[in-house]
Amino acid sequence: MRMTFRWYGEGNDSVTLEQIRQIPGVEGIVWALHDVPVGEEWPMEKIIEVKNQAGKYGLNIDVVESVNVHEDIKLGLPTRDQYIENYKRTIKKLAEVGVKVICYNFMPVFDWTRTDLYKVMEDGSTALFFEKAKVDNMDPIELVEKISTNSTYTMPGWEPERLSRLKELFEAYKEVSEEDLFNNLAYFLEEIIPVAEENGIRMGIHPDDPPWPIFGLPRIITSRENIRRVLNLVDSPSNGITLCSGSLGSNPSNNVGDMVREFAKRIPFAHIRNVKVYENGDFIETSHRTQDGTVDIYDVVKAYHESGFTGYARPDHGRHIWGEECRPGYGLYDRGLGIMYLWGIWDSLERLNGRKS
């Protein structure tokens, strides 16, 4: 397991590269060019700038999260081909600087969805929270206004250029079924996977967050069966999944450990975090510790260990603790604690198997 840490760039993150390199076992950053509009080709000079920034601190840039997919590709519009060509050129550029994995998602309109970015927990910390009844009964524009005004940082997946077309996009998706979305994903993968394969890059699709339809929009990366279907669309090692224990784990019917065991060879990148799921469908993001949530994080890590996992992993969303002012879900302290919890499990499993970490 190769540990990484997500970083949003200088001036766009409360966490510094100097701090990241001090976390035990962290080899690299998980990054993206957040100022490049979705669908545009990434400029080489900006890619090299991030590589140089990370290199000063001995950190690699092997994992990109995310090269986002333009809505025209998801909708299957005639204009999708120009955006796919831009995507292919970006893949080639990233390969030139040593990138090994590209994470992406295929969620219509919204990326992750939450109703509260700083829900107060019993211990006084705050965390990202999803209130099911509120989402079921609220206008999506109301949610956009709430999310967009809650942070001084950019919000990946909630880009202004996408959200400014909200009504137009909802109208367009009225005619798109889950089967249509699968077909549009297949078209995309058939185009880009050969390019990724030729350039030594593994693509990892991120599960829908949460893994069920939101505001009537179709969602397809939601379950073991659907992941299996996606991996079979193009049977290549370069067509993989970014297995996110928190996204999938917010639906208790998803056994994340079993998914790891089945798909291990097709997981280039792992997001490991915990959530506490309530009977009414609400969920809140907790510490990484198994006892604090609904996901059996010990079993998840054990599944990776049993599978001989040598891919990349990162602690995913953390709570906001000790008064830290940070991007929602992406502070230093709780993710640092999360890494040490994950290493503690991993190192114990190594000892049990008579190996040194």
Marked catalytic residue, from 271, 288, 305, 320: 271
Options 104, 317, 334, 341, the catalytic residue:
317
Rg (CA), the chain: 19
Active site residue 305: no
Instruction: Using alpha carbons, list the distances in angstroms from residue 156 to 75, 111, 220.
Output: 20, 8, 20
Of the residues 70, 244, 282, 298, only one is catalytic, namely 244
The DSSP line for 57-123 is TT-EEEEEE--PPPHHHHHT-TTHHHHHHHHHHHHHHHHHTT--EEEE---SS-SS--SEEEEEPTT
Q: Is 33 left (phi over 0), alpha (psi -120 to 50) or beta?
A: beta
Report how far residue 206's alpha carbon sits from residue 190's, in angstroms, rounded to the nearest whole number: 18
Active site annotation includes 180: no
Of the residues 70, 206, 288, 305, which is catalytic? Answer: 206
- What is the distance between the alpha carbons of residues 66 and 156, in angstroms, rounded to a whole number? 9
Q: Is 208 a catalytic residue?
A: no
Q: Is 70 a catalytic residue?
A: no
Q: Examine the residue annotation and report whether 206 is marked as an active-site residue of this protein.
A: yes
Calculate the alpha carbon distances from 225 to 161, 219, 336 in Å.
Answer: 33, 13, 33
The burial class, CB within 10 Å (0-12 / 13-18 / 19+), for 200 is: exposed
Question: How far from the centroid of its chain's Cα atoms is residue 277's Cα?
Answer: 19
Distance CA 302, CA 304 (A): 5
Active site residue 34: no
| Residue 234, CA distances (Å) to 45, 106, 186, 335 in order | 32, 16, 8, 34
Strand partners for 202: 101
Task: Give the active site residue among 83, 330, 334, 341.
Answer: 330
Residue 134 has φ and ψ, to the nearest 5°, of: -65, -45
Residues with catalytic annotation?
206, 244, 271, 316-317, 330
